[in-house]
Amino acid sequence: MVFNRFKDKSRRNTFQKQGAIEVFTRVKLPQGKEVLGVVEQRYGGAKMLVKCADNIPRNCRVPGRLKRKLWLREGDIVLIEPWEFDNDKGDILFKYNPSAIEWLKSRGYLKNLFEF
């Protein structure tokens, strides 16, 4: 049966309710040298200070391929990849959404971020 969802108002509300639920299927976890961090201060020019889970504050940047896609503010939880030749700097790879942050908190991944 094909129906027009714009004519049937009761059906339209069910579509809106289903779309409002934010469901995630998979949360990106740190692998290898990657570290979780919290954005503390923005410097401008896609650079910012990030406090990482390994207790090292890093001067991180958003790579050019993500500059227009990744918008960050203070307090955002991000995934960092430290540089090989300078451990005090790194690249921001990913920003977590609120539902993924709740999942990470419930599993204990963010305990180190809020202790120091």
Would you state the pLDDT for residue 3? 52
Would you state the pLDDT for residue 93? 93
Give residue-wise pLDDT tens across range 70-113.
Answer: 888 999 999 999 999 988 999 999 999 998 999 898 888 888 77
pTM for the model = 0.73
- Give the Cα-Cα-Cα angle 39, 40, 44 (nearest 5 degrees): 80
Number of independent structural domains in the chain:
1
With beta carbons less than 8 A apart as the criterion, state whether 87 and 56 touch: yes
Residue 12 within any structural domain of the chain: no
| Structural domain harbouring 54 | 27-115
Mean predicted confidence (pLDDT) in 64-72: 84
Give residue-wise pLDDT tens across range 31-40.
Answer: 999 999 999 9
Q: Residue 81 belongs to a domain with what CATH number?
A: 2.40.50.140
